[in-house]
Amino acid sequence: MRIVFFTRVLFFCWIVFHLSAQATFQLNEALFQKVQERFGVEASKRVRDWQEVIDDNKNSSTADQLYEVNRFFNRLEFVDDLKHWNKNDYWATPVEFLSTNGGDCEDFSIAKYFSLRALGVPTEKLRLMYVKALNYNMAHMVLAYYETPRSIPLVLDNLNKDILPANKRRDLRPVYSFNGDGLWMAKEQGRGIQVQKGGNNDLWEDLNKRMLQELNNKEDK
């Protein structure tokens, strides 16, 4: 995984608005059929299971939503981008992640983020966070959940499958985090200092474009 210190913050465009603004997150039969034709019956079932997780947890407590989303995606396999996509860095959509039954840490974190947004968790409570995984001496991404602006975040991770407060994850060193509201440089285990608002990034724009195409059942151009 290549880590890039973005000079412009990543922003969430149409697809994020779609997931957060709609009363119901609903994948359709055409998408399930498309996945089955390309990747097989088991792949289509995994995508259907994602829909069921969202449907079954709409009215659950936030704690249960975090647990179920984290558990659901952590069943998938870790696969390096170069091996999986023949690219140094590729951000898969949740459908691509589920269809191919694997991805890297960014794919785990992104899929969890979109799922929790679909369940109604506010953007300001979620951060995609780049860290250094000290036990592996490598760059890594996790999803952080902040109950309040001053809370120590809970960490949703594919390396350690337990959801723990960041101050209990001494194996992770925060670098920076982002969401639709801005980019924050790390400050110990807390919320950090916001350094930029607005902007865009090619990887994120490409991810959002592919998610929109999936929902509209269009082929890549």
C-alpha distances out from residue 91 to 40, 154, 195, Å? 22, 23, 24
Cβ neighbourhood burial of 73 (10 Å; 0-12, 13-18, 19+): buried
pLDDT in tens, 23-33: 467 888 999 99
3-state secondary structure 141-205: EEEEECCCCCCCCEEECCCCCCCEEHHHCCCEEEEEEEECCEEEECCCCCCCEEEECCCCCHHHH
Residue 177 in tokens:
């985090």
In the chain, pLDDT over 90 holds for what percent of residues? 60
Position 100 pLDDT exceeds 90:
yes
Closest residue by Cα to residue 35 from 217, 211, 208, 220: 217
Mean pLDDT (whole number) for 59-73: 98
Position 182 pLDDT exceeds 60:
no
pLDDT in tens, 120-176: 999 889 989 999 999 999 999 999 999 998 899 999 999 999 999 999 999 999 987
Contacts (Cβ under 8 Å, ≥6 apart) of 91: 106, 107, 110, 203, 204, 206, 207
